[in-house]
């Protein structure tokens, strides 16, 4: 197996370079002074160039071919065979992209992120528009180099959810849209005062929010010996090994949900990364298998756990004692209903579970139109606002609450957004199976027992890293492919109860 070990060592060095770039990107969004942006872009460009050249070099290809022969007689389910199989996919994907294009994306996205942050702070889209022009052009080039049979989106989506196509996304939305729309309609007919969420819009000291949030995620399983939390303009999770996983959050003193549920969401990602088998650290099998599966973990902990009645039966007394002035007069049931209010809203990351997917549909359509030239970058804010009126009956009052709210486009992450909706569906499918296997997950959560659920996720999903595809994991765990029924049942049951439908 020397050929396999040689390949593993080579790709371990590639992984180390990618991690170094990742740490620079994390620092860029958390601690780097604004004056460092230009040099940081150069640093990332150089690292990206070296990493890509090493990834697709003739030496890497030679080692890959030799390793493929060496594992031919092994069980296809072995770590070694899976490693080589995924290494081949990664190589074939990377080899299609010119190094100059990869390094240019790293440089432009670093500068674009800085421009986006400034534009968002000033609510001035025109400041970001020239960078978005560059990014759209670069993403078109990526799609064309990777290859597609009609829609550029297919090639970009495949980077985040291997094998998935734009047509699959449309089919997914077609499956959940009728029930979602009918549920929203029924809830809206109950009137805006059916649920009062004013109690989560009172005064909440930021330092206390931070302390409470960290206590919550520590209790559910986040290991601060192998992780940390910082502030960022837009929350995210970065993982370099299972022993170094970092999350970020942001705060609003007059809106408790922003930091609280943002922290739990990113912790879902982090728990996945901290749970990957240490033997996969720094190699091809490390990391999550797909963004859809990754988002299933963040959405599961944020919503199916974090917004459940059981969760707040356990945690509300502590929250109430942390904020006695703001929540002293608020009963647990009132708080539970408040954090689950359904109402068309402007901001995706603050959207309720029922309307959330409409935000993803909007972005999916916008990205397709931009990539195919049906929409010009200069006209994007007007198109965004028109879609907001169509889907939500709302018009953003400014760019910050409209087209500039998400970080993804500044990072050249076209194709990412559908994985959020995919994650919603997978999360319910997995939670339903966990409930069957463990017997009464809600009762365990109510008692503050999070280890059984986390252990189940670790055993069935986290530990495997990239070894199995999303489809393979679902089949292994639930005996089915992607199934929207558990998700739709969950929404109808939960919100039927809250709104008396």
Q: Which residues are catalytic?
A: 266
Numbers of helices and strands, H then E, in the chain: 21, 3
3-state secondary structure of 469: coil
3-state SS record for 377-439: HHHHHHHHHHHHHHHHCCCCCCCCCCCCCCCHHHHCCCCCCHHHHHHHHHHHHHHHHHHHHHC
- How far from chain centre, in Å, is Cα 481? 21
**Tokens in use for 477?**
């765990």
Residues 6 or more apart from 420 whose CB is under 8 A from it?
Answer: 295, 299, 356, 360
Contact in structure between 275 and 460 (CB atoms under 8 Å):
no
**118-121: long-range pairs with CB below 8 Å, 24+:** 119/399, 119/404, 120/233, 120/399, 120/400, 120/404, 120/405, 121/400
- Are the beta carbons of 340 and 333 closer than 8 angstroms? no
Q: Which residue from 364, 483, 471 is spatially nearest to 418, judged by alpha carbons?
A: 364
Cβ 414 vs Cβ 158: under 8 Å: no
φ, ψ (nearest 5 deg) of residue 227: -165, 170
Q: Are 214 and 318 in contact (CB under 8 A)?
A: no
Q: Quick check: 160 and 415 in contact, CB under 8 A?
A: yes
Pairing of strands 244-249, 227-231: parallel
Q: Which two tokens stand for residue 113?
A: 């992120």
């Amino acid at each position: 197996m020397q050929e396999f070990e040689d390949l593993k060592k080579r790709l371990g060095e590639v992984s180390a370079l990618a991690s170094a770039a990742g740490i620079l990107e994390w620092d860029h969004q958390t601690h780097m002074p604004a004056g460092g942006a230009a040099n940081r872009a150069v640093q990332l460009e150089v690292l990206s160039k070296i990493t890509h050249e090493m990834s697709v070099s003739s030496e890497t290809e030679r080692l890959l071919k030799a390793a493929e022969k060496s594992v031919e007689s092994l069980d296809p389910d072995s770590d070694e065979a899976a490693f080589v199989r995924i290494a081949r996919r990664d190589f074939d994907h990377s080899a299609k992209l010119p190094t100059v294009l990869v390094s240019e994306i790293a440089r432009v996205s670093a500068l674009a992120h800085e421009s986006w942050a400034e534009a968002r702070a000033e609510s001035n889209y025109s400041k970001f528009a020239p960078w978005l022009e560059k990014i759209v052009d670069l993403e078109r080039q990526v799609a064309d180099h990777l290859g597609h049979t009609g829609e550029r989106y297919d090639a970009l989506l495949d980077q985040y959810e291997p094998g998935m196509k734009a047509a699959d996304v449309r089919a997914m939305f077609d499956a959940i849209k009728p029930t979602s729309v009918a549920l929203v309609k029924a809830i809206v007919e109950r009137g805006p005062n059916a649920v009062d969420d004013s109690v989560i819009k009172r005064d909440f000291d930021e330092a206390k929010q931070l302390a409470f949030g960290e206590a919550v995620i520590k209790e559910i399983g986040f290991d601060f010996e192998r992780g940390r939390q910082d502030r960022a303009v837009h929350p995210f999770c970065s993982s370099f090994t299972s022993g170094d996983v970092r999350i970020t959050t942001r705060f609003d003193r007059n809106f408790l949900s922003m930091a609280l549920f943002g922290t739990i969401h990113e912790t879902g990602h982090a728990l996945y990364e901290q749970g990957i088998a240490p033997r996969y650290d720094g190699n091809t099998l490390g990391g999550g298998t797909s963004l859809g599966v990754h988002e299933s973990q963040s959405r599961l902990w944020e919503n199916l756990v974090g917004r459940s009645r059981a969760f707040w039966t356990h945690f509300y007394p502590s929250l109430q004692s942390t904020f006695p002035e703001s929540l002293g007069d608020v009963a647990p049931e009132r708080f539970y209903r408040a954090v689950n209010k359904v109402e068309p809203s402007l901001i995706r990351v603050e959207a309720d579970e029922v309307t959330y997917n409409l935000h993803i549909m909007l972005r999916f359509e916008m990205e397709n139109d931009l990539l195919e030239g049906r929409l010009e970058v200069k006209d994007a804010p007007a198109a965004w606002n028109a879609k907001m009126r169509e889907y939500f009956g709302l018009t953003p009052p400014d760019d910050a609450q409209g087209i500039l709210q998400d970080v993804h486009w500044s990072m050249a992450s076209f194709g990412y957004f559908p994985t959020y909706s995919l994650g919603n569906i997978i999360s319910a499918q997995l939670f339903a199976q966990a409930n069957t296997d463990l017997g009464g997950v809600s009762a365990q959560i109510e008692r503050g027992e999070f280890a059984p659920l986390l252990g189940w996720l670790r055993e069935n999903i986290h530990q495997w890293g990239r070894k199995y595809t999303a489809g393979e994991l679902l089949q292994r765990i639930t005996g089915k492919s992607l199934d929207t029924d558990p998700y739709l049942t969950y929404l109808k049951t939960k919100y039927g109860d809250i709104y008396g439908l």
